[in-house]
Structure 1
Amino acid sequence: MKLTPLLLAALAALTTPVLAQTPAAPRVAPDQIATKNGPLTVQPITHGSVVLTWNRKTIYVDPYGGAEAYAGLAAPDVVLITDIHPDHLDPKTLAGLSVGKALMLVPPAVAEKLPAEYKKQVRVLRNGQKLDTLGMSIAAIPMYNLPEAPDAMHTKGRGNGYVLGLGGKNVYLSGDTEDTPEMRALKNIDVAFVCMNLPYTMDVQQAAQGVLAFKPGIVYPYHYRGQNGLSDVAAFQKTVNAANKKIDVRLRNWYAGAK
């Protein structure tokens, strides 16, 4: 039997394997916060990872959890890394992202552990140092456990929290810390991302008391998965707002795409 071109095409379609497309990891909807230079977009990713977009610049904070979590997002202009632990410094995730043109701002301990291919992109910031670049300011804030001890999970000076100046708004990223004097002394913070997960950082009550001390306009609980599951961020919100109703506590699901 002679096969017509139409029949041949139909048979080919039946025998050609269908390649499944990997769906993008689920993400919660982003928030937008007004600044003098247009909106600041806040896109939760997972755990301590967040993507900030402002003034045509994209900032990745602690990229972690697999490159698929960043599908569809713009390549970063800046990558901030807070610490050496694998939920902050994740070479596998970095390798899957388009970070080749990004400025990487990191503490010295992270610079020592970054793969060699990124060395030319790295700018080291130590606790207390500040950099102005790409129309924004970036200050490195100490992050560490209390009481201070040589064998602490996070020793003072090793990692950085960050305060970003973006269009007249000050954005604080806590990294892994407890409610240190440096956190409590922060001034004029408009947006804060604050960790709360035992035994690595602090509990919900510590986080609430730290936030009540520096009084950010908006606070996002993030990095809230610990050894015993997720911290009670609703209790954090209740504690903060019982003492200060002006603080906008925004609860978002940072583990929507967690496996």
Structure 2
Amino acid sequence: MKPSLLLSPLFVAALAACSTQPPAQTATTTPTTTQPSPGPVLRAAPDQIPTKQGPLTVQPITHGSVVFSWNGKTLYVDPYGGAPAYAGLAAPDIVLITDIHGDHLDEKTLAGLPLDKALFVVPQAVADKLPAQYKAQVRVLANGQQLDLLGLKVAAIPMYNLPETADSRHPKGRGNGYVLELGGKHVYLSGDTEDIAEMRALQNIDVAFVCMNLPYTMDVPQAAQGVLAFQPGIVYPYHYRGQDGLSDVAGFKQTVNAANKKIDVRLRNWYPAAE
């Protein structure tokens, strides 16, 4: 499980290749626990995406957090929003964390989750801040490195703000976007980024999760142009709450599909508690 350096920072351009749905309604899931429940958990209904090794289940949680279930494995991405948001879901085998900010590295949420058997895949900056109890479970990936883990591949790519400045909220090299390869599918998680060259150079991405929230990442037009450059099969706008509220994800869908009707833009409710 030792990371191996890639030959090029744009390694994902060589990834092998492997429909528009209406927004899913918010689902109500009752936590499975023997303790008194605080009430139903509000989550968007999960999606299933076929792969060569069975379905990939996509469960939106909130903001930049999503849970994947595939081939008997469960992956938590940027666990955030409190442990009750994950009630009833399987314990994670892998936890991916993109950056050090509290909406990605949320120690309070981590403390309430069953993580004893989970492997953490994180950039060094996150590893440095994780509580000591998780240190033995950590696998560090830098931009441009990849890892074979529990039957899937995880590759780390840059995520950063433009222009690159010394006081950037997200400087290049600190955080990771990720490309997962599982069951013949390639899944891109943008993390906190703008429409950087490394995003635009992606090829053969089947499913993409793309952020859009000013002033932290990019605006809707930037996100749309970035997606139109690398043309994923399916794209989920996520991480779309900014200083002025929720971004116009419907406008994002309209812009993308006006230029490319083949991209399946899936609008899901990542903020059900805000309704």
Q: Normalising by the residue count of structure 1, what TM-score does the alignment of the two structures yield? A: 0.92
2:195 to 155, 158, 179: 179
For 1:117 and 1:20, locate their aligned partners in 2 and report how far apart those are by CA, in whole Å: 28
Q: Look up the match of 1:189.
A: 205
Q: Look up the match of 2:235.
A: 219
Task: Report if aligned partners of 1:172, 1:193 keep a CA contact under 8 Å in 2.
Answer: yes
Gaps of 5+ in 1: 1-18
For 1:79 and 1:101, locate their aligned partners in 2 and report how far apart those are by CA, in whole Å: 10
1:83 to 99, 110, 113: 99
2:164 is equivalent to residue 157 of structure 1: no
| Residues 1:20 and 1:57: Cα distance change in structure 2 (over 3 Å) | closer
Cα deviation, residue 20, structure 1: 5.4
For 1:63 and 1:251, locate their aligned partners in 2 and report how far apart those are by CA, in whole Å: 20
More relative contact order in 1 or in 2 (CA 8 Å, sep 6+)? Answer: 2
Alignment-mate amino acid for residue 190 of structure 1: D
For 2:115 and 2:255, locate their aligned partners in 1 and report how far apart those are by CA, in whole Å: 39
For 2:187 and 2:233, locate their aligned partners in 1 and report how far apart those are by CA, in whole Å: 10
For 1:258 and 1:81, locate their aligned partners in 2 and report how far apart those are by CA, in whole Å: 24
Aligned CA-pair RMSD: 1.0
For 1:198 and 1:244, locate their aligned partners in 2 and report how far apart those are by CA, in whole Å: 25
Aligned ranges for residues 18-97 of structure 1 at < 5 Å? 21-97=37-113
Alignment-mate amino acid for residue 239 of structure 1: T
Task: Report if aligned partners of 1:170, 1:189 keep a CA contact under 8 Å in 2.
Answer: yes
Task: Report if aligned partners of 1:75, 1:99 keep a CA contact under 8 Å in 2.
Answer: yes
Task: Report if aligned partners of 1:196, 1:224 keep a CA contact under 8 Å in 2.
Answer: yes
Q: Normalising by the residue count of structure 2, what TM-score does the alignment of the two structures yield? A: 0.86
Identity across matched positions, percent:
78
For 2:96 and 2:36, locate their aligned partners in 1 and report how far apart those are by CA, in whole Å: 33
| Residues 1:163 and 1:110: Cα distance change in structure 2 (over 3 Å) | same
1:68-92 CA distance string (max 9 Å, x none): 0000000000000000000000000
1:125-183 CA distance string (max 9 Å, x none): 00000001111000001000000011000000000000000100000000000000000
1:112 to 128, 132, 137: 128
Gaps of 5+ in 2: 1-34
Q: Look up the match of 1:206.
A: 222
Alignment-mate amino acid for residue 86 of structure 1: G
- Secondary structure of the 2:250 match is helix
Q: Look up the match of 1:7.
A: none
Q: Look up the match of 1:3.
A: none
